[in-house]
Amino acid sequence: MPFSYAISPVERVTYVTARGPIDLRSAMEMMGNVQKDPAFSPDFGVVIDASDMEYTPTIGELGLMGWALRHEKQIYRSRVAVIRRDAEQSARRKIYSRLARVTGMAFGLFCDRDEARRWAAAH
């Protein structure tokens, strides 16, 4: 299973882990599964640990993700923190910055899980 998630109502954070090879379709399915979980709230922060994920979206896929997230903005109203090993690369930061602008959402890119959790939980 490329995705798993846990929802912490106490922290008001949803934790998603992506491992191994994934594709756009499985990422979109995961978003739908999280939304349908009765414990999920759109006001919770989201931490996505993608440090072991084997997927780099194409520009077209990023555009499609941006479109989907923009139309689902009411479902993800809070901060989304993404953990990646390559978070310090300026090209990666630019991609996430563009995605944030396109969607109107607050995206943060981090190397450290604790830092990502604190940022996502600060509503």
The rounded distance, in Å, linking the Cα atoms of 2 and 54 is 10
**Complete domains list, the chain, with CATH:** 3-121 (3.30.750)
Structure tokens, 59: 């520009």
What confidence score (pLDDT) does residue 1 get? 63
What confidence score (pLDDT) does residue 88 get? 66
| Positions in the chain short of pLDDT 70 | 1, 69-77, 87-90, 92, 123
For the chain, the distance separating the N- and C-terminal CA atoms, rounded to the nearest angstrom, is 30
pTM (predicted TM-score) = 0.81
What confidence score (pLDDT) does residue 100 get? 72
